[in-house]
Amino acid sequence: MLVRQAIKDAGVTVDQSEVDAELTSLEDSIKAQGQDLDTLLLAQNMTRKDIEDQIRLSKEIEKILADKLDVTDQEVADYFEKNKASLGTDATLEMYDSQIREQLRQQKLSTAQQEWLSDLQKNASIKYYRFAPSSTSAY
């Protein structure tokens, strides 16, 4: 509820076409591994609507945090230099640029989401109501 309200307050929306594109990408990735999305969803006791709702929520949060997700060329170059040995002797920055950029973006997104959620909780005004049973109850 808190997250939904923050998204509403931010005026962020995600078109169905964005959800569909992400769902198609997910399905393609799963098919490439020789599996089927519907089978995996069934195993997780989820429906397509559930996964679409999760994708929409994720995209909405990404839009809110977009200004924190930029990855610079320097960050990509630094990552490449630190990890060059594990990428192979023939590895070039150009070969891995998009993969590194996406990995760094996902790391930033994860960190930003945690900070954002923590801030939401910290700044939330939550009211608790205590139910007091009526003293005139009949037995």
**pLDDT for the residue numbered 135:** 63
Say if residues 11 and 60 touch (Cβ distance below 8 Å): no
The full set of domain ranges for the chain reads 1-64, 66-124
Say if residues 21 and 70 touch (Cβ distance below 8 Å): no
**pLDDT for the residue numbered 139:** 54
pLDDT band, very low/low/confident/very high, at 1 (cuts 50, 70, 90): confident
What's the whole-model pTM score?
Answer: 0.76
Task: Give the tokens for residue 73.
Answer: 């060329």
Within 8 A by CB and 6+ apart from 35, the residues are none
Report the SS3 class of residue 135: coil
- Mean residue pLDDT of the chain comes to 92
Model confidence pLDDT, tens digit, residues 47-101: 999 999 999 999 999 999 999 999 999 999 999 999 998 988 899 999 999 999 9
CA distance linking residue 8 with residue 60, whole number of Å: 10
Residue type, 105: R
CA distance linking residue 40 with residue 139, whole number of Å: 52
Say if residues 56 and 17 touch (Cβ distance below 8 Å): no
